[in-house]
């Protein structure tokens, strides 16, 4: 599911997908080749996630990333600390003027993400990674914490959903609530971040977009239910996973507009949105392997189809820009390089996006629907879970 970023690879996170459904909701030529944006129009600042590509393969895409001035969020797990291949790609990226932020992921069997159940492992991982980077004088100044429910919890939620058991899901979410443990976890995360700050790093936190719906109504209990503390953590920057998945592009445009507005209001102008999926992620074997491990492969895989055209990404980025969000994160490099359009087409689409105006940016009916859905979700959560 960004269970891994796309249902286990940032696929439908158990956060948004399970709650929405369980409560009945559906909801390389010149750097910038398009005409210059109008005076004063915000320019996108683009980054791309890389979750699976081997480091040696990543090197070949550095010139394209340099060309489009695109930052890279590169996967790293505990076994990669000390890796000559990782050190090499970091050094090569620096020579290409490509900034890399390291995206920490645990092995799938250790629950992948930052959460209450993984804080011990994540603390030792983060500090060991930071110390190695500094010891080797590697060009990295940012570390990413991906705050999502564990695959184990995600699978239990998804099984309740598949069995059409909303009461069971509500009970499961209620069982996870432990305010004292939650408060300790927030304090622990803030101490880890302070230790990274002392080592000269900054930290970005990433979470699912549904957190914004609940936070807009002052509800942080959902984070406790999902064992994923986020909103009270001292991040230097935040990013919200906002993928198209199985919705129509028209619905997706409204989603992007909504979460761009909420993100900017709640977290300020440096908030980022993660847009995607780029290309057909069913072609990525690691996603399929996670689907098999998750145990609901037929349900999981349909969310991996992704965007089929770069102009969909350009349009989504234009919507985000029109709502004042400049930081556009693309998921993912893996999908883009495997798509028929190729990496440059996706990077160009995002980097050359301009804010949409008028009828092209308006989504009044769908936006109202999303707002009503969010209100119902919050109400039902409060009634059934807390």
Structure tokens at 379: 């109400």
Identify the helix (H) or strand (E) that includes residue 365.
helix 364-384
What's the distance, CA 96 to chain centroid? 25
Structure tokens at 243: 């993928």
Structure tokens at 220: 């942080």
| Tens digit of each residue's pLDDT (9 = 90 or more) over 117-155 | 999 999 999 999 999 999 999 999 999 999 999 999 988
| Tens digit of each residue's pLDDT (9 = 90 or more) over 277-332 | 999 999 999 998 988 888 777 778 888 999 999 999 999 999 999 999 999 999 99
Specify burial of residue 174 (Cβ count, 10 A radius: 0-12, 13-18, 19+).
Answer: middle
Structure tokens at 292: 């098999």
Angle (nearest 5°) at CA 128 between 66 and 59: 25
Burial 186-198 (b: 16+ CB within 10 A, else e): bebbeebbeebee
Backbone angles phi, psi at 46, to 5 degrees: -105, 140
pLDDT at residue 33 in the model: 40
Distances (CA, A) of 87 to 100, 105, 159: 11, 17, 41
- Are 332 and 49 spatial neighbours (Cβ–Cβ below 8 Å)? yes
Structure tokens at 133: 């980077």
Q: What's the rounded mean pLDDT across residues 105-122?
A: 96
| Tens digit of each residue's pLDDT (9 = 90 or more) over 150-202 | 999 988 988 888 888 888 999 999 999 999 999 999 999 999 999 999 999 99
pLDDT band of 6, cuts 50, 70, 90:
low
Q: What DSSP letter does each residue of 286-327 carry, written as one string?
A: HHHHHHHHHT-HHHHHGGG--BS-HHHHHHHHHHHHHTT--E
**CB neighbours of residue 332 within 10 Å:** 31
Q: Scanning the structure block, which residue is given the tokens 């590697």?
A: 138
Angle (nearest 5°) at CA 193 between 192 and 198: 100
Domain edges within the chain: 14-25+42-384
pLDDT band of 22, cuts 50, 70, 90:
very low
Structure tokens at 107: 């092995």
Is the predicted pLDDT of residue 9 greater than 80, yes or no? no
Q: Which residues contact 379 (CB under 8 A, 6 or more apart)?
A: none
Choose the CATH number for 14-25+42-384 among 3.20.20.70, 3.80.30.20, 3.30.70.2190, 1.10.645.10.
3.20.20.70
């Amino acid at each position: 599911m960004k269970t891994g970023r796309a249902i286990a690879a940032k696929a439908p996170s158990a956060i948004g997908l399970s709650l929405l459904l369980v409560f009945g909701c559906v909801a390389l030529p010149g750097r910038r080749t398009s005409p210059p944006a109008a005076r004063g129009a915000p320019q996108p600042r683009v980054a791309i996630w890389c979750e699976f590509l081997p480091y040696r393969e990543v090197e070949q895409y550095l010139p394209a990333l340099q060309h489009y001035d695109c930052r890279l969020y590169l996967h790293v797990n505990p076994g990669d600390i000390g890796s000559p291949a990782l050190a090499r790609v970091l050094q090569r990226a620096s020579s290409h003027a490509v900034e890399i932020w390291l995206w920490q992921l645990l092995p799938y069997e250790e629950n992948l993400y930052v959460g209450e159940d993984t804080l011990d492992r994540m603390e030792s991982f983060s500090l060991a990674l930071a110390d190695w980077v500094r010891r080797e004088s590697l060009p990295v100044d940012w570390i990413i914490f991906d705050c999502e429910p564990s695959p184990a919890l995600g699978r239990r939620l998804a099984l309740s959903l598949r069995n059409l058991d909303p009461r069971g899901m509500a009970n499961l979410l209620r069982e996870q609530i432990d305010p004292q443990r939650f408060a300790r976890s927030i304090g622990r995360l803030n101490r880890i971040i302070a230790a990274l700050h002392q080592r000269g790093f900054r930290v970005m936190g990433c979470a699912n977009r549904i957190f914004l719906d609940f936070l807009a109504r002052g509800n942080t209990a959902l984070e406790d239910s999902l064992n994923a503390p986020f909103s009270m953590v001292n991040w230097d920057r935040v990013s919200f996973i906002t993928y198209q998945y199985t919705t129509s592009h028209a619905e997706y445009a409204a989603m992007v507009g909504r979460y761009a507005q909420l993100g900017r209001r709640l977290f300020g102008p440096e908030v980022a949105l993660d847009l995607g999926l780029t290309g057909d992620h069913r072609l990525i074997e690691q996603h399929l392997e996670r689907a098999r491990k998750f145990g609901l492969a037929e349900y999981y895989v349909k969310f991996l189809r992704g965007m089929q055209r770069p102009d969909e990404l350009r349009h989504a980025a234009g919507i985000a820009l029109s709502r004042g969000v400049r930081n556009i994160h693309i998921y993912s490099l893996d999908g883009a390089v495997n798509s028929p359009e190729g990496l440059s087409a996706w990077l160009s689409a995002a980097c050359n996006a301009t804010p949409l105006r008028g009828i092209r940016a308006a989504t009044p009916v769908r936006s109202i629907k999303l707002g009503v859905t969010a209100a119902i979700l919050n109400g039902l959560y409060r009634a059934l879970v807390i």
